Amino acid sequence: MASSKSTSNRMLYAGGGLLLVLLVAGGLGWQLGWFGGGERGLQVESERAERRTITEVVTAFGRAQPEVEVEISPDVSGEIVELPVKEGDVVQQGDLLARLKADDYRAAVERAEAGVSEAKATLAQRRADSVQARRTYDRQKKLYEKEVVSASDFEDAKSTYEQAVAQLQAARFRVESARADLQDAREQLQKTRIYAPMSGTLTRLEVEEGERVVGTQQRAGTEMMRVSRLGQMELEVDVNESDVVNVASRDSATIEFDAHPDRSFQGAVTEIANSARIQNEGSQNEVTNFPVTIRVLDNPNTGLTSGDEGAIARPEVPREGARSPVIRPGMSGAVDIYTETAEEAVAVPIQAVTVRDFAKTRSGDASGAAAQGDGAAEDLRRVVFVAEGDSARMVEVNTGIADDTYMEITAGLEGGETVITGPYSAVSRELEPGMKIQTGEQEGQSGETIAMTQ
C-alpha cells in the first residue's frame, strides 16, 4: 500500500516538472517566433515624412546699449563746484553739465595776460634800441668813409646794430609765445565748464558736487557721466563660433528682455565682429564667441521706427506722457536670429536621422568588418530607416538645415514615407537593413517649425 502511494507521488512530481518545462519552452518559443504567428520583429516608433517650412535660428544672449553713447571726462583737473544735472535728465547739446573750481585757471590767465604785456614792453624797448643802433651805425659809416674814425670803431657800430636787430626779432617771437600762452590759459579756464556734446539722456552719473576729478590732454580722465541717445537701442550678443558662420548682416531677429517677459521686439543684425572673444583661454572650458550687434527696430523709447530716415542721428524725442524708457541700457535679453528658411522642404524628426558605416554594410555585418582589422577605413553616411510593411529599409539621405524638432532632407526622400524615429537605441545601433519590425506610427505636426541652436 505504501509502495503504491510512493509510486503515485513520483509520477505526480514528474508530470508537474514536465509541464513546467513545456511552459518555459513555449514562452521562449513564442518570444523567438518559433511558433504562434512567426517572428514579431523589433518594436519601433515611426512618423511620416512631410513637407514643412523650416526656419533655422541662432539663439544668443546679451545686454542692451544705446547705439550712440558719449563718455564725459574733464580735460582739466579740479573740484566740482556746480553739478546742475542728475541721472535720467534729458539734456540738449550745449547745456551746462558741470563746473569745476576755476580760481587757479583764472590766475593763470591773469599771469599770461601780464606776460603778454611784459613781452610787448620788451618789444618796444628792443625796437627803440634797434633804431638807436641804426643811427649810430649810419653815422660811423659816413665818418669811416671820410677816414675820420678807425675801422675798429666802425666794426663795433655795425656789430651793435646787428645785435639790436636780432634782439628785436627775439622780442617779437616772445610776444607771439606770450600770446599763445594766454590763449592756452583761456582755453584751460573755459574747460572748467563742461557742456553736453549732443542731445540725449544722462544715463550714468559717477560724481557728485564737491568731488575732485582728474583731467589730462593725452588720455581720458575721470569718467564723470554718460550721455546716450535712447531713441535707438541695440544689443551686443556673443554668438558661438560654430553658429556665427550662419549669421549674416540684416538677418531678422526677435528680442525678448528679462524685464518684459510678456513682450517681444523686432530686430536686425547690423554688425558682426571679425575678431573673437576667447574665454578661459588655454583651459578645458575655453569658449570662442564672436560679438554680434542687433538693432532694436520697434524701439518703444522714442517711437522711432526702422523706416525713419536718419533716426539714429535725430535728437531725442520722448514719447508723450512717457516717464522713463522702456528699454534701459544694461537690460539683459535673449535674441533669436533667423538665419535661413526652407519652404516646402521634406522634413523628418531629427532623431530619425542617424549614421551608418557603409564599409561594414558592404562587408555583410559588423563582425565581418571587425575581422578586416582596425586599419579599415570608415565610410560614415547619414541614413534614415523607412518602414515598409514589417521590415526596415535603410535609405541614404542628404540633409539641410534643422530645427529643434525636424531636419530638412534634400535628397533621398520624396515625402510621404514612414520613417522610424525610435527608440533611440534601435535607430542608432540595432536597426539593420531588412530587419523585421513592429511599428507604432505617430501623428505628425504639419506647418511651420523654427530651428533653435544655441
C-alpha cell at 410: 534634400
Q: Are residues 48 and 109 in the same domain?
A: no
**Long-range residue pairs from 349-352, CB within 8 A, at least 24 positions apart, any chain:** 349/47, 349/405, 349/406, 349/407, 349/419, 349/421, 350/402, 350/404, 350/405, 350/406, 350/407, 351/421, 351/422, 351/424, 351/427, 352/47, 352/384, 352/385, 352/407, 352/419, 352/420, 352/421, 352/427
Does the bond joining 423 to the residue before it have cis omega, within 30 degrees of 0?
Answer: yes
Q: Are residues 405 and 349 in the same domain?
A: yes
For 360, the enclosing helix (H) or strand (E) is helix 358-363
Inside any domain, residue 294: no
Q: Are residues 384 and 415 in the same domain?
A: yes
- pLDDT at position 183: 94
Inside any domain, residue 182: yes
Among candidate residues 309, 243, 251, the one with its CA nearest the CA of residue 276: 243
- pLDDT at position 403: 82
CATH code, domain with 174: 1.10.287
Q: Are residues 48 and 170 in the same domain?
A: no
Q: Are residues 141 and 49 in the same domain?
A: no
Inside any domain, residue 392: yes
**Residue type at position 123:** L
CB atoms within 10 A of CB 16: 10
Inside any domain, residue 257: no
Interhelix angle 151-190/103-145, rounded to 10 degrees, is 160
Inside any domain, residue 221: no
Inside any domain, residue 310: no
Q: What letter does residue 444 receive in the DSSP assignment?
A: P
Q: Are residues 48 and 113 in the same domain?
A: no
Q: Are residues 200 and 137 in the same domain?
A: yes
C-alpha cell at 123: 618789444
Q: Is the dihedral of CA 142, 143, 147, 149 positive or negative?
A: negative
- pLDDT at position 30: 52
**Cβ-contact 233, 64 below 8 angstroms:** yes
Q: Are residues 90 and 168 in the same domain?
A: yes
**Cβ-contact 410, 384 below 8 angstroms:** no
CB atoms within 10 A of CB 441: 15
pLDDT, one tens digit per residue, over 117-134 is 999 999 999 999 899 989
The CA dihedral of 312, 317, 318, 320, to the nearest 10 degrees, is: -140
**Cβ-contact 78, 104 below 8 angstroms:** yes
* Residues of the chain falling short of pLDDT 70: 1-17, 21, 24-40, 302-323, 361-376, 440-454
Inside any domain, residue 401: yes
- pLDDT at position 237: 94
- pLDDT at position 317: 45
Q: Are residues 83 and 141 in the same domain?
A: yes
**Cβ-contact 311, 232 below 8 angstroms:** yes
Pairing of strands 448-450, 50-72: parallel
Q: Which residues pair with 61 in a beta bridge?
A: 238, 334
**Cβ-contact 65, 58 below 8 angstroms:** no
Q: Are residues 157 and 50 in the same domain?
A: no
Q: Are residues 86 and 205 in the same domain?
A: yes
Inside any domain, residue 173: yes
In sequence order, what are the residues at sequence separation of 6 or more whose Cβ sits closer than 8 angstroms to the Cβ of residue 214?
74, 77, 221, 222
CATH code, domain with 425: 2.40.420.20
- pLDDT at position 360: 77
**Cβ-contact 203, 69 below 8 angstroms:** yes
- pLDDT at position 412: 87
- pLDDT at position 137: 87
* Count of structural domains within the chain: 2
Q: Give the structural domain span for 355.
A: 44-54+343-362+379-440
For 356, the enclosing helix (H) or strand (E) is strand 354-357
Among 190, 213, 236, give the residue marking a domain's end. 213
- pLDDT at position 40: 65
Q: Are residues 48 and 106 in the same domain?
A: no
Among 192, 213, 234, give the residue marking a domain's end. 213
Among 167, 195, 213, give the residue marking a domain's end. 213
